[in-house]
Amino acid sequence: MTDTMTEPAQTASTQYVPTTGDLDLEERSSLRRVVGLSTELTDVTEVEYRRLRLERVVLVGVWTEGTAEQARASMVELSRLAETAGSEVLDALMQRRPKADPATYIGSGKVDELRAAVQAGGADTVICDGELSPGQLRQLEEKLKVKVIDRTALILDIFAQHARSRDGKAQVELAQLSYLLPRLRGWGEALSRQVGGRAAGGVGIGGRGPGETKIELDRRRIRTRMSKLRREIAAMSQVRNTQRGSRRRNEIPSVAIVGYTNAGKSSLLNALTGAGVLVENALFATLDPTTRRTSTTDGRTFTLTDTVGFVRHLPHQLVEAFRSTLEETAEADLLVHVVDASDPLPEDQIKAVRQVLVEIGEERHGKMPQELLVVNKTDVAGDLQLARLRHLLPDAIFVSAHRGDGITRLRARIAELLPRPEVDIELLLPYVEGSLVARVHAEGDVLSEEHTPDGTLLHARVGGELATAVLPFAVPNCAPPNGSGR
């Protein structure tokens, strides 16, 4: 998208003509249209697909900090999220303010303008770019007379649509319930009438009635369901722990692919392993981790895991619910952090991803695996952008998962960074022990191999457990397998 926020509005319904320049009074108090975010049909072949779409939405954001470009990027992303959730974006408006209005998110005077935009396009939903309080949502809903949701609810909705596995579904439901719990009173007009005007504010006059009892009952039900989900998630993560434990015992190093949503993580897994996992130009296409085994060019086996992507302001309910999945990521030996070179602000994406990683890492006392930055989609990024990124990220590997450029270099770099097995050993394995030879090849790092009349003579570095298994075949006079350093 090349148009900027300050371009004149193009739609006929507009009454907000944005001004140029920064923050003059008029601008501060106006709603600006974010041009180019409408997702109206441009291609008839889309008709069939769009028929399924339920909502016609207007987006609204409050720009409180950062540059105009960042504010716009956030709105562009919100529109992509809305589309991913199946909505048609009619319009996008943004207000520059020092902070969101505590009552109505955008300035209360601007709500009328927003309502006009809603009515002009026949929208049925307004999506706010942030996490709103239950009171803000309710007040806006009352004024706009259409459903109002926030970014958090939108992301939760996408996750709910995309979750496939039992584990993923349970995690999403838990996140949704924890989002819903404090908002129970704010939702549904009938409900708030029952408990009086101050419903969202807590108990007070009129706060105890039949409605209250009903809400308490609902709350209790939700809490019970949440504990059940937590138990289920814990049990499922136990199973995965066991599987992972067995990989650990076999000392197979693990690599986790992390990165912003839509950066090309799944494509990279496919490029590296031919896995054939789902690749989609949609946010949060992947929710369930996929693990594939592959090997380095020198024959060491390792696992690669593709997992859920991150996004700016990833709802903390989701981070909480996906904690077990995310923690597994944090236990990898190496993180391959994929960055989309075609994004206008890849630095912000890197920052957002690292923030989530830090959040997970804090639970683990700050111990994070080493990170290898991989800049993807070099085939579509501009030369200037690539030059800038090469300068900014001198240690990154530049690849195109689509074209295969840089993949060999990436493999080599992964091989370098993978932990090496720690025991240096020389073995003479009789030919009947072919399976042990194969294991040394798969799990260890073979330094030399020679076929002698008595068997295979191997010089290798292997993990502790394998070293014990092959100890009877250790060649005498060679250093004892006691972990002679790396």
Ligand X SMILES: Nc1nc2c(ncn2[C@@H]2O[C@H](COP(=O)(O)OP(=O)(O)OP(=O)(O)O)[C@@H](O)[C@H]2O)c(=O)[nH]1
Residues at the site binding Mg ion, with contacts judged by CB under 5 A:
265-266, 285-286
Residue 455 sits in the site that holds ligand X (CB under 6 A)? no
Q: Which residues of 444-468 are buried (b: 16+ CB within 10 A; e: fewer)?
A: bbbeeeeeeeebbebbbbbbeebbe
The span of 30-38, 276-284, 318-326, 463-471 binding ligand X (CB under 6 A) equals 276-284
Question: Could you say which of Mg ion, ligand X, none residue 349 binds, taking C-beta under 5 to 8 angstroms by partner kind?
Answer: none
- HSE of 231 in the Cβ direction (CA atoms, 13 Å)? 6
Q: Which is nearer to ligand X, 103 or 277 (CB)?
A: 277
How many CB atoms lie under 10 A from the CB of residue 69?
13
Residue 305 sits in the site that holds ligand X (CB under 6 A)? no
Q: Rule CB under 6 A: choose which of 262, 290, 303, 456 binds ligand X.
A: 262
Residue 261 sits in the site that holds ligand X (CB under 6 A)? yes
Q: How far is the CB of 485 from ligand X (least distance, A)?
A: 38
Residue 133: exposed, middle, or buried by beta-carbon count in 10 A (0-12, 13-18, 19+)?
middle
x/- letters, 308..327, toward ligand X (CB under 6 A): -x------------------
Q: How far is the CB of 302 from ligand X (least distance, A)?
A: 19
Q: Rule CB under 6 A: choose which of 178, 194, 266, 273 binds ligand X.
A: 266
x/- letters, 362..391, toward ligand X (CB under 6 A): --------------xx-xx-----------
Q: How far is the CB of 353 from ligand X (least distance, A)?
A: 11
Q: Which is nearer to ligand X, 190 or 384 (CB)?
A: 384
Q: Rule CB under 6 A: choose which of 265, 300, 312, 441 binds ligand X.
A: 265
Q: Which is nearer to Mg ion, 270 or 456 (CB)?
A: 270
Radius of gyration from C-alpha coordinates of the chain: 27
- Residues with Cβ < 8 Å from 6, sequence gap 6 or more? 18, 19, 20, 32, 68
How many CB atoms lie under 10 A from the CB of residue 442?
16
CA–CA separation, 387 and 403 (whole Å):
19
Q: Which of residues 386-415 bind ligand X (CB under 6 A)?
A: 400-402
Strand-strand pairing, 125-128 and 147-150: parallel
Residue 3 sits in the site that holds ligand X (CB under 6 A)? no
Q: How far is the CB of 359 from ligand X (least distance, A)?
A: 18
CA–CA separation, 34 and 136 (whole Å):
22
Q: How far is the CB of 279 from Mg ion (least distance, A)?
A: 7
Question: Could you say which of Mg ion, ligand X, none residue 264 binds, taking C-beta under 5 to 8 angstroms by partner kind?
Answer: ligand X
Q: Which is nearer to ligand X, 268 or 330 (CB)?
A: 268
- HSE of 61 in the Cβ direction (CA atoms, 13 Å)? 24
Amino acid at 355: Q
How many CB atoms lie under 10 A from the CB of residue 49?
11
Q: How far is the CB of 267 from Mg ion (least distance, A)?
A: 8
The span of 60-68, 112-120, 282-290, 357-365 binding ligand X (CB under 6 A) equals 282-290
Structure tokens at 243: 């599987």
Q: How far is the CB of 262 from ligand X (least distance, A)?
A: 4
Token pair 């030879």 in the structure block, residue: 437
CA–CA separation, 1 and 432 (whole Å):
64
Instruction: Annotate 213-273 with DSSP letters as a single string.
Output: HHHHHHHHHHHHHHHHHHHHHHHHHHHHHHHHHHHHHTT--EEEEEEBTTSSHHHHHHHHH
Chain centroid offset of residue 366 CA: 20
Q: How far is the CB of 327 from ligand X (least distance, A)?
A: 19
Interface size with ligand X, residues (CB under 6 A): 24
CA–CA separation, 324 and 432 (whole Å):
43
Residue 279 sits in the site that holds ligand X (CB under 6 A)? yes
CB 59 within 8 A of CB 33: no
* Continuous segment of H or E residues that includes residue 277: none
Q: How far is the CB of 168 from ligand X (least distance, A)?
A: 12
Q: How far is the CB of 263 from Mg ion (least distance, A)?
A: 9
Question: Could you say which of Mg ion, ligand X, none residue 376 binds, taking C-beta under 5 to 8 angstroms by partner kind?
Answer: ligand X
Q: Which is nearer to Mg ion, 194 or 329 (CB)?
A: 329
* Continuous segment of H or E residues that includes residue 405: none
Q: Of 138, 130, 230, which Cα lies nearest the Cα of 175?
A: 230
Q: Which is nearer to Mg ion, 38 or 291 (CB)?
A: 291
Which residue lies nearest ligand X, judged by its C-beta? 309
CB 440 within 8 A of CB 305: no
Question: Could you say which of Mg ion, ligand X, none residue 218 binds, taking C-beta under 5 to 8 angstroms by partner kind?
Answer: none
Q: Using CB under 6 A, list all residues that contact ligand X.
A: 259, 261-267, 279-286, 309, 376-377, 379-380, 400-402
